[in-house]
Amino acid sequence: MLRRLPLANPASRFEAARVEYDPGEVPDQGLEIYEDQTHNIIAKNDSPDLSFSYSLNPYRGCAHGCAYCYARPSHEYLGFGAGTDFERRLVVKPKAPELLREAFEQRSWRGELLVFSGNTDCYQPIESRFELTRRCLEVCLEYKNPVHIITKGTLIERDIDILAEMGRAGLARVGISLTTLDSSLSRRMEPRVPQPARRLEVIRRLSAAGCPVRVMVAPVIPALTDHELEPILEAARGAGATSASMIVLRLPKEVAPLFRDWLAEHYPDRAARVMGRVRDLHGGRDYDASWGRRFTGQGVWAALMQQRFRQAKARLGFADDQPPLRCDLFRPPPHPGDQPDLFDI
């Protein structure tokens, strides 16, 4: 059961943190926020395409409004739509930090890698009000549980104090998503996401503070952004990113017609070409969800993009892979009344 919360739009001068938007980045009016009183905060997956098993999403829906977002169909599980509902009817999980602490106290939890986001952006603008991501990070730091964060949001800079400490200890890394360096295209395609130059600055600041950063060239959109593959990698490497990944455009379920409509409105001259190339990558369909192919695509164009990506990575000195985060440091903190361990005395 979801409970709608009142949304206060004016920012208070007494707030500890607030979001300042670039021109054109201000969220549309009509934002609605709901509470989700979930009893579990850690989700488990068994996908062979993913390098992690556990994830945490403190929010559902995303105000960033990216036209290509593969997570949009998940909003329909709540009875909402995958279009504007996904961007304007947002769900918060107010007990996320407490639920995370309870999960870490379970004997079955062994300090596994925990990925923040995956189905939303944990640093979308409402995080400045609810601070659920920061509070969950504080729990991870307390228990020394490794985390990997995926985001486009510059609000992550607020938490550099935590991420720097965890990063230096081998407990944290961040993935920053860059789809294009073209600010005009970004504004149309990712209407409420910080501009590409600001995301590069986030990479620079996190790297300088000691938190390793991966640039995620995702999604690569054929005939629209694929020519920027090398420039994005060069810019990110110059900003301090040490590793890189790439995912081709994915259009599952309701995302395909939404993206086609967006193309027809903003790029009618190349819409047919873009979708034709997308289908070349997915076996003649808008999307192929098969394991092993959904992230990379298939066929000649997919092979060419992968070859370009590998060569650019090697030329720029990106690591083939990041060293694994440390899971061996996980320790529940002592509780009042606990008997000390004989070997810790």
Q: Is the pLDDT of residue 13 over 60?
A: no
Q: Output the pLDDT for position 334.
A: 86
DSSP label at residue 160: H
In this structure, are residues 212 and 149 in contact, taking their beta carbons and an 8 Å threshold? no
Q: For residue 101, give every residue at least 6 positions away whose Cβ sits within 8 Å of its Cβ, in sequence order, or none.
A: 139, 143
Instruction: Give the pLDDT band (50/70/90) at residue 10.
Output: very low
Q: Is the pLDDT of residue 19 over 80?
A: no
Q: Output the pLDDT for position 274.
A: 98
Q: Is the pLDDT of residue 6 over 60?
A: no
Strand residue runs (E) in the chain? 2-5, 32-36, 42-44, 54-56, 59-60, 89-92, 114-116, 147-151, 172-177, 213-220, 243-248
pLDDT in tens, 53-71: 899 999 999 999 999 999 9
Looking at domain 28-249, which CATH architecture does it have?
Alpha-Beta Barrel (3.20)
Q: For residue 242, give every residue at least 6 positions away whose Cβ sits within 8 Å of its Cβ, in sequence order, or none.
A: 207, 212, 213, 214, 318, 319, 322
Q: Output the pLDDT for position 4.
A: 62
Q: Output the pLDDT for position 23.
A: 46
What pTM was estimated for this model as a whole? 0.88
Instruction: Give the pLDDT band (50/70/90) at residue 162.
Output: very high
Domain boundaries, the chain: 28-249
Q: Is the pLDDT of residue 42 over 70?
A: yes
pLDDT in tens, 137-149: 999 999 999 999 9
Q: Output the pLDDT for position 14.
A: 41
Instruction: Give the pLDDT band (50/70/90) at residue 292.
Output: confident
Q: Is the pLDDT of residue 342 over 60?
A: no
pLDDT in tens, 192-202: 999 999 999 99
Q: For residue 284, give every residue at least 6 positions away whose Cβ sits within 8 Å of its Cβ, in sequence order, or none.
A: none
Q: Is the pLDDT of residue 16 over 90?
A: no
Q: What percent of the chain has pLDDT over 70?
A: 89
